[in-house]
A and B are shown apart, each in its own frame.
Chain A
Amino acid sequence: MTASPGSEYLAVLVYIAVALAIGILAVVVGAALGPKKPGRAKLMPYESGNDPAGEVKRFPVHFYAVAMLFIIFDVEVAFLWPYAVSAGSLGIAGFVGLLIFTVLLFVGFVYEWWKGVMRWR
């Protein structure tokens, strides 16, 4: 495994700064150039020519459910990364521990699937 000195992380900051600068520059140039003739109709939200009928207040609960499941299983994956990197040295005992952990979470997954969280109606 190659060792990453701290300067690599400074490089990440430089990289992000460059990308951010390009993004901001693009938006500034885009805003500066071009005609500027705003009008009431032009600035209305898109509604196929109709006046917009109210704001969006609620959306299906499915999206919350998906987000919550994602958090749970992403935490699972976050626990699996360290195992994946050191799998060789952990041996069979490590594998049994891994198996118990994943089976527990998989039971949760099967329950969720059986309850029909993913059944979009």
Chain B
Amino acid sequence: MTDPLWMVGIKAFLVVFGLLTAFAYMTLIERRLLARFQVRWGPNRVGPMGLLQPLADAIKSILKEDIVPTKADKVVFVLAPVIAITFALVGFGLIPFGPKGAFFGFDPWVINLDVGILYLFAVSEMAVYGIFLAGWASNSKYSLLGSLRSSAALISYELALGMSLLAPVMLVGSLNLQDIVEWQDKHVWLILPMFPAFVLFTIASMAEAARTPFDLPEAEQELVGGYSTEYASIKWALFQMAEYVHLITASALIPTIYLGGWKMPGFIPDIPYLWMFLKIALFLFFFIWIRATWFRLRYDQLMRFGWGRLFPAALVWFLVVAFYVALNGGKA
């Protein structure tokens, strides 16, 4: 039994708005945390504890002049940020936050596909289109080079991402995220048997969300602003939004697959939503921490690391797990 379509629409709306609010406050929390890491206060003037800062930023970026450069390809230039944000938003709805009916009698997810993980990959490949089209349509050297570099890095790490997910899928025997959470509840959190895959997946998803140490697209000192150089106003904000939504999705996906999702082991009660939100917060904190303390890779190092280390390592781990599963005949 699935939810009626009108309910799906409402939930999709709630998830999208939740993600946009989360993005806004994520920027604030990131600035505040980075500041704390560097022993200073972050933005604390606009509203109590700076809580109205995201609102002020949003109003500013909406009221700014919306510039479309003369040399840009007008249609694609406008379309690219829409593509970027749309395909960033449609991944998150798969994540289960509780058991069936935990959302006022409805299901605590927007969509529940048997091929959930493949869907996530398809959606995140689409994000590359947004970036590449933005760089191409801007018709500026910096944008084009920035977008080429970003999309080449994204597809390279996409490969390692897919490779590292094969191993846990093999153990569970399903691509459905609910099944993966159930399996972990019955057996053991996948982080224990699948620790190498967990590490590879986390590194690759950091690169997917263009976070430090892989945040070359926004290496201000190198390529101005990467693919979004020519963008202003809300269109620029949409790219930022897409990037943060990717980060939030990654931070939700890692605990879903490797840390038992919304369930906790043993005597700890399974509270829908709460554990999941805490685990997401944990990973977001971790990513901000990395950003505050790590240097950035050079572009050639980035590509060599992705292809030469991450991808073969994921392949080897996949074969090891495949051998184990083949010997045990799927009894795990």
Q: Which of B43-51, B109-117, B261-269, B285-293 contacts A (4 or more CB under 8 A)?
A: B109-117
Q: Which of B26-34, B59-67, B199-207 contacts A (4 or more CB under 8 A)?
A: B59-67
Residues of chain B within 8 A (CB-CB) of A4 are 112-115, 176
Question: B interface, how many residues as a size bin?
Answer: 35 or more
Residues of chain B within 8 A (CB-CB) of A15 are 8, 12, 90, 93, 110-111
Q: Decide: A42 near B93, CB < 8 A? Known: A2-B114, A81-B166.
A: no
Q: Decide: A44 near B329, CB < 8 A? Known: A81-B175, A84-B170, A120-B303.
A: no
- Total A-B Cβ pairs within 8 A: 232
Contact with B along A1-21 (1 / 0, CB 8 A): 111110111111011101110
Whether A84 lies near B166 (C-beta < 8 A) is: yes
Whether A45 lies near B71 (C-beta < 8 A) is: yes
Whether A59 lies near B144 (C-beta < 8 A) is: yes
Select the residue from B5, B82, B308 with max chain A CB neighbours within 10 A.
Answer: B82
Whether, in the assembled complex, B221 has its beta carbon less than 8 Å from a beta carbon of chain A, the answer is no
Chain B residue nearest in CB terms to A95: B326
Whether A43 lies near B16 (C-beta < 8 A) is: no
Whether B113 lies near A8 (C-beta < 8 A) is: yes
**Smallest CB–CB gap between A107 and chain B, Å?**
12
Residues of chain A within 8 A (CB-CB) of B229 are 46
**Smallest CB–CB gap between A88 and chain B, Å?**
2
Contact among A2, A77, A113 with B178 in the assembled complex (CB-CB below 8 Å): A2
Whether, in the assembled complex, B89 has its beta carbon less than 8 Å from a beta carbon of chain A, the answer is yes
Whether A11 lies near B110 (C-beta < 8 A) is: yes
Q: Decide: A88 near B69, CB < 8 A? Known: A34-B63, A67-B155, A94-B326.
A: no
Instruction: Write the residues of chain A forming the contact surface with B, with a CB cutoff of 8 angstroms.
Output: 1-5, 7-12, 14-16, 18-20, 22-24, 26-27, 29-31, 33-38, 40, 42-47, 52, 55-56, 59, 62-63, 66-67, 69-70, 73-74, 77, 80-81, 83-92, 94-95, 98-99, 102, 106, 109, 113, 118-120
Given contacts A19-B89, A31-B66, 4 further A-B contacts (CB under 8 A): A12-B90, A20-B82, A44-B70, A46-B229
Instruction: Write the residues of chain B forming the contact surface with A, with a CB cutoff of 8 angstroms.
Output: 2-3, 5, 8-9, 12-13, 16-17, 20, 61-71, 78, 81-83, 85-87, 89-90, 93, 110-115, 118-119, 138-142, 144-145, 148, 152, 155-156, 158-159, 162-163, 166-167, 169-170, 173-176, 178-179, 224, 229-230, 233-235, 237-238, 299-300, 303-304, 307-308, 311-312, 315, 318-319, 322-323, 325-332
